[in-house]
Amino acid sequence: MSRHAVITVRVPAKVNVQLGVGGLRPDGFHDLANVFFAVALGDLVTARQGAGVKLTCEGPGSDQVPLDDSNLAARAAYALAAHHGIEANVALHIEKAIPVAGGMAGGSADGAAALVACDALWELGTPTEVLHELAAELGSDVPFALLGGVALGRDRGETLSPLPVPGTFQWIFAVADGGLSTPAVFRECDRLRAEAGTGHTSEQVTTPDADPALLAALAAGDPKALAAALTNDLQPAAVSLRPSLAETLRVGTAAGALAALVSGSGPTTAFLAQDAESAESVARALRESGTCRAAHVTYGPVPGAAVLADWPGARLPAGVSCDGYRNCAENEPRSQ
Ligand code: C5P
């Protein structure tokens, strides 16, 4: 029996500050130049002893979250148990703040959090490299949710090189009604490329590289330079499938955002602000516009999946910083 009755893990969402998409590979994936950036809009995953793997979920969009063995959190628990040759016995509770099917890797985040939570609950002490390998098998974005910070992801996004970034950037995320399927957005990207006559296979499309201007902006901690370098090759596909996103992007830019882009495969949209005050006024304009369901002000980079506090059932009091997140109270799951 574990010394820990309850383990809570906080895990960040991501935005891609560059999402360069190469051609479609024979295995159905696309090679990427993917610069991940972890933001403090995060989920909490709590693990308790249980019989078999049981999942529960609360928070916005939780009715859309599968509670069966297809959920990445459940798959993570089984994968970790199988690696150690033990039975998977855990009750996992997910408190969602990351938009569901929103292009912010919320499902991947829960998978990463479940790996960390079960590893602590079952007292396995799994080496980081092994957790990373298990994460990469679960999905392309899961390793980054473990790592956090800012990182360049190559191949299908799972081969990571950390990028040191000084300071903090202010972000606003506008949540759209409903989600978009990541495979559907990649397919639409391929379709648009074929339609434009540029080709869409890995033989026809050169794999993009990380943009040197973007890397310099990150290394300098310069929001204006970062704003000028933000790109997402999936944006035309996401807007093609959800044309109303163009208006959300326009509203945020008109309200003073330094830049606006679709987050990953969407439909969440991301806005970079000069400072916290400007971020609040962009969020207000987005909420008042009626072009989104909610607008969250947040910041990054923040660390990856980590045990919130290492005593049983502990929750840090509001306002106390934890694991490098500047202020846990700012990121309560149901905040807007
Ligand atoms: O790796 P993950 O399961 O998150 O990927 C979901 C889907 O997104 C893949 O099945 C594929 O259709 C698409 N994808 C892709 N290229 C990537 C990552 C994901 O085409 N590099």
In a structure prediction context, what are the per-residue pLDDT tens digits for the chain, which is 336 residues long?
A: 556 689 999 999 999 999 999 999 999 999 999 999 999 999 999 999 999 999 999 999 999 999 999 999 999 999 999 999 999 999 999 999 999 999 999 999 999 999 999 999 999 999 999 999 999 999 999 999 999 999 999 999 999 999 999 999 999 999 999 999 999 999 999 999 999 999 999 999 998 999 999 999 999 999 999 999 999 999 999 999 999 999 999 999 999 999 999 999 999 999 999 999 999 999 999 999 999 999 999 999 999 999 986 443 444 444 433 433 433 433 333 333
Q: How far is the CA of 48 from the centre of ligand 1 (A)?
A: 31
**182 CB less than 6 Å from ligand 1?**
yes
Domain ranges of the chain: 6-164+302-310, 169-300
**233 CB less than 6 Å from ligand 1?**
no
Residue 54 is among the residues annotated as catalytic for this protein: no
Indicate which atom in ligand 1 lies nearest the CA of residue 156.
21
**CATH code, 169-300:** 3.30.70.890
What is the Cα–Cα distance from 31 to 202, expressed in whole angstroms?
A: 8
Domain at 6-164+302-310, CATH class: alpha beta
Nearest protein CA to atom 8 of ligand 1, as residue: 183
What is the Cα–Cα distance from 226 to 215, expressed in whole angstroms?
A: 8
Options 31, 43, 119, 141, the catalytic residue? 141
Q: What share of the chain is helix, strand, coil (3-state, %, to 5)?
A: 35, 25, 40
What is the Cα–Cα distance from 166 to 12, expressed in whole angstroms?
A: 18
Q: How far, CA to CA in Å, does 151 sit from each of 16, 62, 266, 331?
A: 10, 29, 20, 22
Q: How far is the CA of 32 from the centre of ligand 1 (A)?
A: 10
Q: Any idea what DSSP says for residue 104?
A: S
Options 14, 43, 96, 119, the catalytic residue? 14
Residue 224 is among the residues annotated as catalytic for this protein: no
Whole-model pTM over 0.75: yes
**75 CB less than 6 Å from ligand 1?**
no
Best of 140, 185, 193 for a ligand 1 pocket test (most atoms within 8 Å of beta carbon): 140
Specify whether the CB–CB gap between 107 and 98 falls below 8 A: no
